[in-house]
Amino acid sequence: MSPPISNHLVRHADVIVIGAGLAGLTVALEVANERKVILLSKGDLNESASAWAQGGIVGVLDQKDSYDSHVRDTLEAGAGIVIESVARLISEKSQQAIQCLLHLGVKFTQDPLGPLGLHLTREGGHTHRRVIHAEDSTGKAIQEVLLAKAKQHCNIQIFEHCVAIDLILHKHLCGQASQDFQTSALNNRCYGVYALNILDHQVISITAQDVVIATGGVGKVYQHSTNPNSSTGDGIAMAWRAGCRVANMEFIQFHPTFLYHPQESGFLITEALRGEGAYLRLPNGHRFMGDHDPRLELAPRDIVTRAIDKEMKRYGLQYVLLDATHLGAEVLKERFPTILKCCLAFGIDMTKEAIPVVPSAHYTCGGVVTNVDGQTDVQHLFSVGESAYTGLHGANRLASNSLLECVVMGKQAAKKILEYPIEASQAQVKLWSDYVVDDDEKLKIALQKADLQTLMWHDVGIVRTTHQLERAHNRIELIKKEFHQFSKIPIDPQWIEFRNLLICAELIVLSALDRKESRGLHYIRDYATIFAQSSPTILKPNCWASIESLDYP
């Protein structure tokens, strides 16, 4: 059996940030000069999707480029349901975001002739070179700098290996027993978070004036994913349980080029490689993207992914080939040293041979509904980064817009948090009850998790049918019934994560069933050529109540 919970700890901060990726770190650093911050990291501080991002971050810097052009590209990639005002806001703040990162000390790849002395590259869906990068490990370069700043700041306390269990709501307060918290706007607020220290099994009740969800996406709901193991949709599920709306969960972006290896897990091959001129080929050498889209390898990701999926199914292939040999060894060594090194570790010399690749679940384009300041439907609860739905990505994310969104929306949320004075009183919350999870139940959870991931990969993947979605929904209902027979008090990390994965899987399937058309990343054979729903798919939990004072998209 798992070790019992030791003494329950109680902590307080002005701001709690759940997640230590780029979005969470941006908020923490922006508010820390005026607020005391507790930053929660579920795993190792370097284990975030931000740190794994290879390609780059968008910056409209070139005089030949324009905000209008970037917005048009974002709208085109998003297949008609991007909120244009949000895309414009984020685009127009891109130069400020890049300058902020430079000021913090991020070392981007240089080009003496480039704007701000930076090298710009181009990725799929972009009509200009506007992607700033640090060789081929941009996320790592940014993450390391921001983490170092956070560790040095006297007002930021970092809790590593702490997984959030649930948000603290009105019903968790001492002396206020009413459970009907959703009927009153005064009670519709977040007071903090319950968290579990994974290493010593301590539960911590952390109260704060403001809570920021920056937990990333839901990639690990799928059998094959480019995401770190921490991407289990924790923030989205917690916000849903707290009464927040979610939107566009059917739009899961599958990255076209993930290294295929029959014996070992691979890694993502950045889109920038295609941006520099790499070709997608069949094993017989045929460059097949010309059969699918005139933009060839630089078409938006949803188109490239479906093209690869179709070719693999047509010829019964396990992979296709990404060929960069014609770019030359010197270019590849200078521009893509990380990929070159990783491929060599798998016995592949990309300077001499093509790389076997397959699509893999990569990015969650939907999430918790927020306004342009990151505010959710629950007062004093914010969501930023991949866990949030701002309206920027629509039905398909434009490459490298995600890191830009993290910085811009992180700053927007921080600015809103700082607008309000610090409250003098602290909420008194109920303690989390002790409980022990049986090892037999942990084994059942592991088996059910594998079952869920396989189900989602086969029935709710790149190409779907209504029959598959209905079958997936029925199976998820059965898994839920089995799961609810387990322990009711989630103190084990596997329990916590699987509960969240189940919720997110159901949200994805329900959203997909609700959208009776093919659009962007949601390609369903029953409605392959029908465009009928020019609006986001918004799901409301049973306890949802709108906040009239906030202007939501």
* Coarse DSSP helix, strand, coil percentages of the chain, rounded to the nearest 5 percent: 40, 20, 45
CA angle 357, 359, 363 (to 5 degrees): 130
CA 272/CA 279 separation, integer angstroms: 12
CA angle 103, 107, 109 (to 5 degrees): 130
CA 22/CA 34 separation, integer angstroms: 20
Strand residues in 394-488 grouped as ranges (E): 463-464
CA 532/CA 90 separation, integer angstroms: 28
Catalytic residue list contains 301: yes
Residue 146 three-state SS = helix
Element (H, E) at 195: strand 192-197
> 424: how many CB neighbours lie within 10 A of its CB?
5
Kindly name the residue from 130, 301, 397, 515 that is annotated as catalytic: 301
CA 458/CA 317 separation, integer angstroms: 16
CA 371/CA 349 separation, integer angstroms: 47
CA 478/CA 414 separation, integer angstroms: 41
Alpha-helical runs (H) found in 169-214: none
Answer for the pair 90, 409: CB distance below 8 angstroms, yes or no: yes
User: Between β-strands 252-259 and 246-247, what pairing exists: parallel, antiparallel or unpaired?
Assistant: unpaired
Strand residues in 4-73 grouped as ranges (E): 9-12, 15-18, 37-41, 57-58
Element (H, E) at 462: none
Closest CA to 78 of 390, 519, 464: 519
The two three-digit tokens of residue 52, written as one number: 């794994």
CA 342/CA 134 separation, integer angstroms: 17
Closest CA to 254 of 214, 304, 314: 304
The two three-digit tokens of residue 194, written as one number: 């319950």
Residue bearing tokens 């991949």? 386
Closest CA to 497 of 427, 450, 429: 450
Active-site residue list? 301
